[in-house]
Structure 1
Amino acid sequence: MSYKHLTPEERGKIEAYLDEGLSQAEIARRLDRNRSTISREIKRGSEQRGRNSIARLRYQATSAQNIARMRKRNCGTKTKATIHNTRTILKYLNMKYSPEQIVNAVRSVKVCRATIYNWIYSKVINFDMKKLRHYGKRYKVKTTGAKIRVDRTFFANRTIDFRPEAVQLRTEFGHWEADTVVSKRGVATCLATFVERKTRHYVAIKIPHKTGTDMMLAIKRLIELYPQGVKSITCDRGTEFVNQFNIGTLEDTFGCKIYYANPYAPYERGSNENHNGLLREYFPKPFNFKNVSQRKIDEAVFSMNTRPRKVLGWKTPEHKFKLEYAKVT
């Protein structure tokens, strides 16, 4: 029997099962995979931090998928960090040469300036960065964020271009926009926020982490509050919204369609962005949502929902929402 690589859907299930607290053996049984396959996947697909760092990231399906893709792309690549190159570069670094001077003046070195800096950062070359001119501060390691990108095919039929015209024109009730409002730096607790597009009714739910699992629980809570009033949700492409397994389960279970705004286009979820700004009047930055109760959050949201709005003919979102919801129940 030939070996078959894990699929994005399987990686999504692994993330969801880990969040449920299932063991690796149980995950392997449910996916009909060898236990060693699951163990290696979790180990390889989790982003590694420094040995003494407390900021260790949990397994995420989107990151693991892209890590696997990059690992496959680099398969068979021969390193240029040969004994000759590293010893020669180290020799000239100790002679006070800069990486740029080495690249352009030492003919036997066939690598670029960025490679030398990367080798120093990653300790391939055992040289103290502080001994470089300007202590190496003028050179910054750049990242493309490839580890958190999602396959474009996942968004193929989920962009706002596929929303019905009634959603775009706000003529149909039950279509929401979603986002998160974060705490101050270093605090994981945040708010999942939702705005009904037609009535501007606002909901904020406290969640312990900005993860796909916690966001899905918040969406399920919204559907429990208004079981007949959630037809679709439009969100951004943050990691808390792009777990393929969770999104597929949500759509199949509740019939709630998920749409995605285009990258770098917060104006496509303008109502939600505006209401998040209004919420900051009650909880200004920097704020620790871990220390505030859901009751206090509900009080602030109720105050916002009971203000008259010009766009609603000076009616309140609370009033408009109750009228619309009564029509569908």
Structure 2
Amino acid sequence: MKTRAAHIETTSDDESASRYLQLADRLAIADGLAAGLARTAIADMIGRHKSTVSREITERSIEGLYLPYQADAAAAVARSRPKESKLVTNQRLREQVEQGLDQRWSPEEISHRLVKDFPDDESMRVSHETIYQALYFQARGGLKKEVAQALRSGRTTRKPQRKPGERYQRFVDPMLMIADRPDIEDRAVPGHWEGDLIMGELNKTAIGTLVERTTRYTMLVHLPGSHDAETVRDGLIATMMTLPEHLRGSLTWDQGAEMAGHKGFTTATDMQVYFCDPASPWQRGTNENTNGLLRQYFPKGTDLSVFGPEDLEHVAQQLNGRPRKTLDWDTPAERLRDLLLTR
């Protein structure tokens, strides 16, 4: 194995994508932090070890604030200046690893045995991941037969931990996706809602928005002090329980971390939550359109914490009293009134 570790830090694009956090991971981390999730829960959400998430937050935060886009850019710069592997710079360590491989030991066995054999020498430490990376790079350099002899699995490339195209499971409780939602596209059946958050200055404050698909009736959810999963869940429950049962059919939301408590919401309201596919806002088209109208009242960059429940009710009344072309110039309030009177 004299040359196996010579270029340990060089990886293909596919390997890099599996080894390193991606922008999607960092966005999920930021969502989780904004929702008040523990680092362990965030790690489970993106399928990474909790130490990876903890290290990412600690090292990439700026004055205590984790900014995913800046963190991703900083990581890319750091990767462009790779450090030489310990297996390159430490000949004694490399020789010990070679001896272990010659005895058909696995990288994990070698890594742990080094701790026992050199308990007081921190320079004689190497992770099994580093050994694997050295081996797999050399496999692409023409040593496939040698690697197959050294590794019990006989593989010469890393086996991905997720299937191609497989989605992250965002929450502990399983999600039902929009593809599983009953066919309600004709809007003939009332009681199916779309929801989202509109965010305030620096994403520190938020207002929940709910729109009924048939009538375009809007309700606003006051989120005092926080928009973490627990606050959003309780706010949605309190708002939805003001409606009669026949208008509590389902709720469609995106995969934001604020909906981590979706199971509790469903239990309390008997409303199933359906989640949109990632980066697919058109799957909540009614809500997206309504949020655009709401920005007339709550411009981007506004501190939304200054608006109390009475303010939100006033805005909702104005929006529900606005004639809509899609309703043949009826108002959402008139259409909802008709639904209530027919029961």
TM-score (norm 2): 0.53
Q: 2: distance between equivalents of 1:278 and 1:159?
A: 27
Whichever of the two has the greater Rg, that structure is: 2
Which letter does structure 2 place at the counterpart of 1:206? H
Match of 2:42 among 51, 58, 63: 63
User: Deviation at 1:64?
Assistant: 5.1
Runs ≥4 residues deviating over 6 A: none
SS at match of 2:296: coil
* Alignment partners' CA distance in 1, 2:40 and 2:200: 24
8 Å contact from structure 1 (residues 305, 316) kept in 2: yes
Kept in 2, the 8 Å contact 1:63–1:149? The answer is no
* Distance in 1, Cα, partners of 2:35 & 2:325: 47
Please list the CA deviations of residues 281-329 of structure 1 after superposition, one character each: whole Å capped at 9, or x if unmatched: 112121111112221222122111111111101100110011113334x
Q: 1:66 to 1:293 in 2, by over 3 A?
A: closer
Match of 1:217 among 210, 213, 234: 234
- Alignment of 1:313 onto 2:328: yes
Q: Which amino acid aligns with 2:272?
A: K
CA change 1:57–1:218 in 2 (3 A) is closer
Partner SS state of residue 198, structure 1: coil
CA distances 1:103-157 after superposition (whole Å, capped 9, x unpaired): 59x96479xxxxxxxxxxxxxxxxxxxxxxxxxxxxxxxxxxxxx96269823xx
Letter in 1 for 2:290: H
Quote how far apart the aligned CAs of 1:224 are: 2.2
Q: Distance in 2 between matches of 1:303 and 1:109?
A: 71
Decide which of 163, 172, 176 is 2:181's aligned counterpart: 163
Counterpart of 2:278 in structure 1 is 263
Other-structure match for 2:132: none
Q: Contact (CA 8 Å) 2:250, 2:273: kept in 1 or not?
A: yes
Query: Identity of aligned pairs, percent?
Result: 26
Stretches of structure 2 that go unaligned for 5 or more consecutive residues are 1-28, 53-78, 92-167
Question: Once the 2 structures are TM-superposed, how far is the Cα of residue 277 of structure 1 from its aligned partner?
Answer: 1.0
2:313 aligned residue: 298
In 2, Cα distance between equivalents of 1:290 and 1:168: 35
What is the RMSD of the two structures over their aligned residues, measured on CA atoms? Answer: 3.6
| Residue 337 (structure 2) pairs with residue 322 (structure 1) | yes
State the alpha-carbon separation in 2 of the partners of residues 191 and 236 from structure 1: 15
- The code of the aligned residue for 1:279 comes to L
Contact 1:233 1:257 in 2 (8 A): yes
Partner residue in 2 for 1:235:
253
Cα gap change, 1:256 to 1:287, in 2 (>3 Å): same
Structure 1, unmatched stretches of 5+, are 1-46, 48-54, 74-97, 111-147
The 3 A distance-change label for structure 1 pair 57 and 309 is closer
Question: Are residues 1:189 and 2:205 paired?
Answer: yes
Task: State which of 226, 229, 253 in structure 1 corresponds to 2:243.
Answer: 226
Tell whether the 8 Å contact from 2:35 to 2:227 is kept in structure 1 after alignment: no
SS at match of 2:240: helix
In structure 2, how many angstroms separate the alpha carbons of the residues matched to 1:181 and 1:263? Answer: 17
C-alpha deviation, 1:225, in angstroms = 1.6
Does structure 2 conserve the Cα–Cα contact (< 8 Å) formed by 1:62 and 1:149? no
Query: How many angstroms apart in 1 are the aligned matches of 2:37 and 2:171?
Result: 20
Post-superposition offset of 1:272? 0.6
> 2:194 aligned with 1:177, yes or no?
yes
1: distance between equivalents of 2:45 and 2:272?
Answer: 25
Structure 1 length-normalised TM: 0.55
> 1:59 Cα shift?
2.6
User: What residue identity is the alignment partner of 1:199?
Assistant: T
Provide the secondary structure at the position in 1 that maps to 2:241: helix
